[in-house]
Chain A
Amino acid sequence: MNIQVDNPVLEVHDLTVSYDKKPVLWDVDFTIPYGNLVGIIGPNGAGKSTLIKAIMNLVPKGSGYVKLYNDTLDNVRHKVSYVPQRESVDWDFPTSVLDVVLMGRYGKSSLLSRISKKDKAIAYESLKRVNMLDFANRQISQLSGGQQQRTFLARALAQEADIYLMDEPFAGVDAATERSIVDLLLEMRKEGKTIIVVHHDLQSAIDYFDWTLLLNTRLVASGPTEKVFTTELLQETYGGKLTLLSKIGDLMKEKQFPARENK
């Protein structure tokens, strides 16, 4: 099942991504409507993180293209916010929570200008929304996992974007934090934002998301959550990799074969 929408906020067209010539995403093609809370669901190694990294241009694409607001990322960057996995940075870095959140303002002002009062006000407001105001001057090395995640969310909020791509925001946080993050995401959706979340827990996915992508190196389904969550489709997603597909992938790596003839 792949439900395409008119006038999508995000269009991914025939996207193939390879690591060392081995495709980890095969011809992924889908569209996402405005103002939804979207879940990218799939087993470990399904390429979920790679998909949003490819959307954000952080990994090279073997083929295909990505359009946001019917435009390239470079032209609409200020409307797009990316929340990396919490483990992707060193939390021993000598900096404070507020400074991390202010990084969300860097893209807004010119690169050489100083942080303005308005930037600071927005940063504090963002911290308030994730319930971290009391931690503004805390050193990031002293934060718990859930607090680290909320710091990253505050930084994303400070970007004042319209579409948010979050890589595993619920990984390693406790149930209470997960609930408060979900509440925040619902609030953001109410404001008309589109939020795309990489998630690996099937149980909660059906409650959280309006729209769901099922992914396992290839796109299994894309559509409204209630339509996508069928036993058949879930089995297809979690029932292991397609043997032939992974064999071809291994062969491409062995022969160092390009994803497309002309690449």
Chain B
Amino acid sequence: MWLIDQIVDFFSFQGVNIRYVALGTVLLGASSALVGCFTFLRKKALVGDTIAHSILPGICLSFMIFETKDPLMLLLGAMVSGWLSVYIVDYISANSKIKPDTAIGLTLSVFFGIGVLLLTHIQHSGNAAQAGLDKFLFGKAASLVQNDVIIFGIVSLLLIGAITLFFKQFSLISFDVHFAKTIGLPVRTFEVILSSITVLAVAIGIQTVGVVLMAAMLITPAAAARFWTDKLKVMIVIAAIIGAVSGLFGAFISFTAPSMPTGPWIVVVLSFIAIGSMLIAPKNGAISKIIKQKKNQRKILEDNIIKLLYKLGEKENDFFKNRSITTLKSYREIPTNKFLKGLNILKKKNHVALVNELWVLTEEGKTVGMRIVKIHRLWELYLTTYLRIAPDHVHEDAETIEHIITPEMELKLEHLLNFPEKDPHNVNIPYKNKKDTNE
């Protein structure tokens, strides 16, 4: 098997190159995800994009001045211009009528424009050392070497250290910056630290995934992780894992097909995880919403059928008469297949029984039906009494509410209305235990 061979080849990490690339992308994925959580929570997602684009002129200038591709020197230039862009965005939004989104747009394009200008100039200058500088534009993870990985490792440790050490402060300024100021927290200092580690994360990231994709590395893991938890600490850990896994798989995919670029694949994997989270996350996911709706529809169907049987019993003064599906259908417009599906579920629950092809309410089913009818009528009375809605306007509302009221609410409703005997249409409200009404 070709795929298994590839998997074994890659994940045994035999080749030196594989090891560096895999380790580098994992470190990068995890550390940018860590920092990105706070960027995400402070609603500064676009700041990551600004930094990424603004780093380019810094790298080019640093290369022009020092004439070296030493990653540390380039990182220095990247830090300076990245930082400058954050400062300019803040300054413009604070001191002019220009809103933050416009300030971001302006800063990003001006810096990037200068960056591309400088890059083009360098490439035409005939400097032999310039080869490969354009990797900052689109990233080139496959060329990661030992030196890069060491720097990634150090930076990752730095980021993890800063976030662990200042977790309380970072979360406080992300949640409630005014309060943070009033308790005497040096807010500005911590904002600077947070911006600095973001710049750092972006600066090491762009040589792997490139300027354009870097924002995704910061924000997507946080956005995906947010679906899975409501706890900040857990969210940060999940985001880091998502970042690391995406890094690893991006590297693996581009390993199996050498013409495939690593950076874009990392982002593709990341996006799949994010979309997946959006769909399947237990509480907030789209699929769980669909399942909930399905459940609701089924509950409504069951309730409506049992209610119909009960009301027919009430009308004909015989709750346990056998009735054919045709008779039932003449009272309520439900498609036959749905009707049968509902009846069969009710049969399994022992709320109805099937006798000679005819359907009949069981004792248990009668109780259930009575409850729904009671709730329906109580709710109608509640609406006319407390919301002053006209009696001929309350039925539709009660049709829905009867399915959702819990036993606790039912009890409250009964006591609030003091076990009334008649609903607004002057129909009897049935109670399971007649004595209740006298309490």
Instruction: Give the B-binding residues of A (Cβ under 8 A).
Output: 53, 56-58, 74, 77, 80-82, 84, 88-90, 93-96, 99-100, 103, 106-107, 111-112, 139, 141, 155, 159
Q: Are A106 and B172 in contact (CB under 8 A)?
A: yes
* Complex: A12 Cα to B375 Cα, angstroms: 60
- For the complex formed, measure the closest distance between the CB of B270 and the CB atoms of chain A, giving whole angstroms: 20
Contact B168 A57 (CB under 8 A): no
Inter-subunit contact A112/B165 (CB<8 Å): yes
- B171 interface residue (CB < 8 Å to A): yes
| B305 CB → nearest A CB, Å | 34
Cβ of B229 within 8 Å of any chain A Cβ, yes or no, is yes
Contact with A along B354-397 (1 / 0, CB 8 A): 00000000000000000000000000000000000000000000
Q: Which 7 A-B pairs have the closest CB atoms?
A: A107-B183, A82-B182, A139-B230, A77-B184, A94-B232, A89-B176, A56-B182
Q: A106-B183, A107-B183, A111-B185 are in contact. Are A96 and B231 (CB under 8 A)?
A: yes
Chosen A-B contacts, 23 in total, with CB atoms closer than 8 Å, are A53-B178, A56-B182, A57-B181, A77-B184, A80-B182, A81-B182, A82-B179, A84-B176, A84-B178, A88-B176, A88-B178, A89-B175, A89-B176, A93-B175, A94-B226, A94-B230, A94-B231, A94-B232, A99-B232, A103-B172, A107-B183, A139-B230, A159-B183
In the complex, the answer to whether B230 meets A107 with C-beta atoms within 8 Å is: no
What is the CB-to-nearest-CB distance from A100 to chain B, in angstroms, rounded to a whole number?
A: 8
Q: Are B174 and A94 in contact (CB under 8 A)?
A: no
Decide if B155 is an interface residue (CB 8 Å cutoff). no
A202 → chain B, closest Cβ, in Å?
27
Taking CB atoms, residues of chain A closer than 8 Å to B176 are 84, 88-89, 103
Give the docked Cα–Cα distance between A56 and B172 (Å): 17
Residues of A within 8 A of B232 (CB): 93-95, 99
Contact with A along B168-210 (1 / 0, CB 8 A): 1101101110110111110000000000000000000000000
| B171 neighbours in A (Cβ, 8 Å) | 95
Chain A residue nearest in CB terms to B43:
A90
Query: Could you tell me the distance in whole angstroms from the C-beta of B419 to the nearest C-beta in chain A?
Result: 26
Rounded to whole angstroms, the CA-CA distance of A100 and B179 in the bound complex is 11
The answer for the CA separation of A80 and B168 in the assembled complex, in Å, is: 21
Closest beta carbon of chain B to A53's beta carbon, Å: 8
Given contacts A90-B43, A94-B235, 7 further A-B pairs with CB under 8 A are A58-B181, A94-B229, A99-B232, A103-B179, A106-B168, A107-B183, A111-B169
How many cross-chain pairs have Cβ atoms below 8 Å apart between A and B? Answer: 66
Bound complex: CA of A141 vs CA of B174, how far in Å?
15
Chain B residues near A74: list those with CB within 8 A: 184
Query: How would residues 147 to 183 of chain B score, 1 for a CB under 8 Å from any chain A CB and 0 otherwise?
Result: 0000000000000000001001101101110110111
Neighbouring B residues of A53 by C-beta, 8 Å: 178
A84: chain B residues at CB < 8 Å are 176, 178-179
Contact (A111, B168) CB under 8 Å given A58-B182, A82-B182, A93-B41: yes
Distance in angstroms between the alpha carbons of A81 and B43 in the assembled complex: 27
Of all chain B residues, the one with the shortest Cβ separation from A140 is: B230
Among A57, A74, A89, A155: residue with most chain B CB under 10 A: A89
CA distance A107 to B185 in the complex (A): 8
Complex Cα distance, B183 from A159, in Å, reads 9
Q: Per-residue CB proximity of B36-62 to A under 8 Å, as 1/0?
A: 000001010000000000000000000
In the bound complex, CA of A80 to CA of B182 (Å): 8
A81 CA to B176 CA in the complex, in Å? 14
| Chain B residues within 8 Å of chain A by Cβ, number | 23
Residue of A nearest to B165 (CB): A112
B178–A82 CB distance below 8 A: yes
Chain B contacts for A58, CB-based, 8 A: 178, 181-182
Closest to A156 in B: B179
Whether the Cβ atoms of A107 and B229 lie closer than 8 Å is no
Residue from A53, A84, A94, A103 with most neighbouring chain B CB atoms (10 Å): A94
Known: A77-B184, A103-B172, A111-B185. A95 touches B179 (CB 8 A): no
Q: Closest B-chain residue to A159, C-beta based?
A: B183
Closest Cβ–Cβ distance, residue A169 to chain B (whole Å): 14
The docked-state distance in angstroms from the alpha carbon of A100 to that of B183 is: 14
CA distance in complex: A100, B235 (Å): 17
CA distance A89 to B175 in the complex (A): 6
On chain A, the residues within 8 Å of B229 by CB distance are 94
What residues on A are CB-neighbors of B226 within 8 Å? 94
**Closest residue to A108 on the B side, CB-wise?**
B183
Contact between A90 and B175, CB atoms less than 8 A apart: yes
A220 to chain B, nearest CB (A): 27
Residues of A within 8 A of B174 (CB): 93
Closest B residue, CB atoms, query A80: B182
Closest partner residue, chain A, to B183 (CB atom): A107
- Give the residues in chain A near B231, CB-CB below 8 Å: 94-96
Distance from B78 Cβ to chain A, minimum over Cβ atoms (Å): 30
Closest to A155 in B: B179
Asked if B181 and A106 sit within 8 Å, CB to CB, the answer is no
Q: How far is the CA of A90 from the CA of B174 in the complex (A)?
A: 9
> Could you say which residues of chain A place their CB within 8 Å of the CB of B172?
103, 106
Q: Taking the nearest CB of chain B, how far is it from the CB of A113, in angstroms?
A: 10
A99 vs chain B, min Cβ distance (A): 8
Docked CA distance A84–B182 (Å): 10
Chain A residues lying within 8 Å of B178, measured Cβ to Cβ, are: 53, 56, 58, 82, 84, 88
**Residues of chain B with a CB closer than 8 A to A82's CB:** 178-179, 182
Contacts of A106 in B (CB 8 A): 168, 172, 183, 185
**Contact partners of A95 in chain B: CB under 8 A:** 171, 175, 230-232
Give every chain A residue within 8 A of B169 (Cβ-Cβ). Answer: 111
Q: In this complex, what residue of B is CB-closest to A165? A: B182
In the bound assembly, the distance between CA atoms of A82 and B230 in angstroms comes to 26
CB neighbours of A100 from chain B (8 A): 175
B-chain residues with CB within 8 Å of residue A107 when the two chains form the complex = 183-185
A173 vs B99: C-alpha distance when bound (angstroms): 32
* Nearest CB on A from B169, distance (A): 7
* A-side contacts of B185, CB under 8 Å: 106-107, 111
Distance A89 CA – B173 CA, assembled complex (angstroms): 11
* Closest residue of A by beta carbon distance from B182: A82
Q: Which residue of B lies closest to A109 (CB)?
A: B168
Q: Bound complex: CA of A88 vs CA of B179, how far in Å?
A: 10
A40 to B332, CA, bound (A): 62
Interchain nearest-CB distance for B298 vs A (Å): 26
A58 to B187, CA, bound (A): 11
- Nearest chain A CB to B235 CB, angstrom units: 5
